[in-house]
């Protein structure tokens, strides 16, 4: 795996909701540091789906519906939906 150069903001992810049965084994309360260079064990489908938002968030950008330094994103499996909260902070 590539070395994470630790650029941009530090992003901490925490699983805040799981509806149904996450086939990747994610669970409420699971927490990890994640970045554009480090998927941190996040399900590949989920990581692929959130990557554009993660990239924008890590490098200081925002979207009109984001507020501050926390955002919530959902996985693409709507039958077994997992929601992650991303929090950015200065390194």
Q: Is residue 32 part of a domain?
A: no
Give the number of domains in the chain: 1
DSSP type of residue 9: -
- The tens digit of pLDDT for each residue in 23-80 reads 999 999 999 999 999 999 999 999 999 999 999 999 999 999 998 999 999 999 999 9
* Farthest-apart Cα atoms in the chain, separation: 36
The residues, any chain, with a CB within 8 Å of residue 82's CB and separated by 6 or more, are: 15, 17, 18, 19, 22, 24, 26, 43, 46, 74, 75
DSSP type of residue 48: H
Residue 20 has pLDDT above 70, yes or no: yes
Confidence (pLDDT) at 3: 82
Instruction: Identify the domain containing residue 54 by its residue range.
Output: 39-70
Confidence (pLDDT) at 13: 98
Q: Is residue 22 part of a domain?
A: no
Q: Is residue 31 part of a domain?
A: no
Residue of higher predicted confidence among 53 and 5: 53
Q: Is residue 51 part of a domain?
A: yes
In DSSP terms, which residues pair with 58 in a beta bridge? none
Task: Please report, for residues 4, 17, 25, 30, 47, the alpha-carbon distance to residue 55 in angstroms, rounded to integers and kept in the order given.
Answer: 14, 22, 24, 21, 11
Q: Is residue 7 part of a domain?
A: no
Q: Is residue 57 part of a domain?
A: yes
Confidence (pLDDT) at 60: 97
Q: Is residue 25 part of a domain?
A: no
Confidence (pLDDT) at 68: 94
Confidence (pLDDT) at 1: 60
Question: What global pTM score does this model have?
Answer: 0.93
Q: Is residue 14 part of a domain?
A: no
């Amino acid at each position: 795996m590539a070395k994470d150069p630790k650029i941009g903001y530090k992003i901490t992810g925490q699983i805040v909701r799981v509806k149904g049965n996450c086939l990747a084994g994610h669970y409420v309360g699971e927490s990890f540091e994640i970045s554009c260079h480090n998927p941190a064990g996040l399900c590949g489908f989920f990581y692929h789906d959130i990557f554009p938002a993660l990239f924008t968030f890590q490098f200081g950008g925002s979207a009109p519906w984001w507020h501050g330094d926390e955002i919530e994103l959902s996985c693409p499996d709507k039958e077994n939906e997992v929601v992650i909260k991303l929090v950015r902070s200065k390194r």
